[in-house]
């Protein structure tokens, strides 16, 4: 079934079409949700809430752009709302509003697999992990992130640079420990 027909059937509350839409995007969106949370259980909660929003708001999809990108934006917003709403994340999500860190000109060479890199990102504090994912993975501008998170751009910049610095240190430690184990 093509995307247009699938959307039309979903809008008619056709459960089979809704299941097909869910099956089409769920695994990728679960990965997205997992990048923002600290457990698979929480990621599944975000995914469920996100798809409720998708089906509730599908009538607002204007067909200007890929459906997957529209769903992705809903999932990111749902993840941010989830982090702000749940107490175990709320304190960690408070953004540091201290001066900016200078941007390093030297880009380290990273020789590690994607799985290890993703695990390093997941070890960041929630606020750094969230900002890093929004910038580096989702491609949002720092201005957009400041608006989404209701903070100022300097805070976003500062937290992104701190996340990057922490990641570089983790990656460096990871590479040193791997070279020692050879």
**Residue 63 pLDDT > 90:** no
Average pLDDT taken over every residue of the chain: 85
Least confident residue range of 6-10, 36-40, 74-78, 163-167: 36-40
pTM of the model: 0.75
173 vs 28, residue with greater confidence: 28
Q: What element of type H or E holds 141?
A: none
List of residues 6+ apart from 35 with CB closer than 8 A? 118, 121, 122, 129, 133, 137
Q: Of the candidates 153, 169, 160, 175, which has an alpha carbon nearest to the alpha carbon of residue 129?
A: 160
Q: Report the pLDDT value the prediction gives residue 102, as an integer from 0 to 100.
A: 41
The answer to which of 34-38, 59-63, 79-83, 101-105 has the lowest mean pLDDT is: 101-105
The fold of 3-88 is Rna Polymerase Sigma Factor; Chain: A (1.10.1740)
Cβ–Cβ < 8 Å for 120, 167: yes
Query: What backbone phi and psi angles, to 5 degrees, belong to 17?
Result: -65, -40
What number does CATH give the domain 114-180? 1.10.10.10
Residue 110 has pLDDT above 70, yes or no: no
Q: What is the pLDDT of residue 144?
A: 94
Residue 101 has pLDDT above 80, yes or no: no
State the span(s) of the chain assigned CATH 1.10.10.10: 114-180
Mean pLDDT across the stretch 172-181? 68
């Amino acid at each position: 079934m093509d995307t247009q027909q699938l959307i039309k059937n979903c809008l008619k509350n056709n459960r089979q079409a809704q299941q097909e839409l869910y099956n089409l995007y769920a695994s990728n969106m679960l990965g997205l949700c997992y990048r923002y949370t600290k457990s698979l259980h929480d990621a599944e909660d975000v995914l469920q809430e996100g798809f409720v929003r998708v089906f509730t708001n599908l009538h607002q999809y204007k067909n200007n752009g890929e459906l997957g990108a529209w769903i992705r934006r809903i999932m990111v917003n749902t993840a941010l709302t989830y982090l702000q709403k749940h107490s175990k994340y709320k304190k960690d999500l408070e953004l540091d509003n201290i001066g900016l860190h200078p941007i390093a000109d030297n880009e380290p060479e990273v020789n590690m697999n994607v799985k290890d890199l993703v695990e390093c990102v997941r070890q960041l504090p929630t606020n750094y992990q969230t900002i890093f994912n929004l910038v580096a993975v989702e491609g949002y501008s720092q201005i957009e992130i400041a608006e989404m998170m209701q903070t100022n751009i300097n805070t976003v910049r500062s937290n992104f640079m701190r996340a990057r610095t922490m990641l570089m240190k983790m990656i460096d430690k990871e590479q040193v420990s791997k070279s020692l184990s050879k």
